[in-house]
Amino acid sequence: MSIDKDTVVRIARLSRIAMEDDALEPMAEELNGILAWVEQLSEVDTEGVEPMTGAIAATLPQRDDDAEAGTATDDLLANAPEADDGFFVVPKVVE
């Protein structure tokens, strides 16, 4: 797998990361280096082996269907850049 400059531009946009033009090539090289290193794992034959989901045998913990009051609205909104009448306020988004 190899990552080119266009791919870096695309995944940066998907991740909402702003990148300067002159940082794109170095980033592509860096990512390719990481991928090449990880790629060594594919030398191991995993044919017919179930994916391992953890180092210890554990099952998914589950909760009962008991509702508890939500977080106090003021606390919830405390770190919001802007709040209005109980709502989070964000820049206008219209599709």
Partner 1 sequence: MSADGYRVRGRDGEWEIAVGLEVHAQVISEAKLFSSAPTAFGAEPNTQVSLVDAAMPGMLPVINRHCVTQAVRTGLALEAEINLTSVFDRKNYFYPDLPPGYQISQYSRPIVGEGRVVLDLEDGSQRTIGITRLHLEMDAGKSIHDRRADATCVDLNRAGVALMEIVSEPDIRSPEEAGIYLRKLRSILRYIGTCDGNMEQGSLRADVNVSVRRPGDELGTRCEVKNLNSVRFVMRAIEVEAERQVAVREDGGEIELETRLFDAERGETRSMRSKEEAHDYRYFPDPDLLPLTLDPAWVEAERARLPELPDARKARFMADYGLSAYDAGVLVAEREIAEYFEAVTAGRDGKQAANWVTGTLFGALNRAGIGIEQSPVSAAALGALIDRVADGTVSNRAAKDVFEAMVSTGKDADAIIEEQALRQVSDEGAIEALVNQVIADNPDKVADFRGGKTKLMGWFVGQVMKASGGKANPKAVNQALRAKLDG
Largest CA distance in the chain: 58
Q: Is 63 an interacting residue with respect to partner 1 (CB under 8 A)?
A: yes
**Which of residues 18, 45, 49, 61 is near partner 1 by CB under 8 A?**
61
Nearer to partner 1, 47 or 68 (CB): 68
Contact between 23 and partner 1 by CB under 8 A: the answer reads no
Residue 11 CB, nearest approach to partner 1 (Å): 8
Angle, alpha carbons 91-94-95 (nearest 5°): 140
Residue 73: HSE in the Cβ half-sphere, 13 Å Cα cutoff: 6
Residue 48 within binding range of partner 1, rule CB under 8 A? no
Q: How far is CA 84 from the centre of its chain?
A: 29
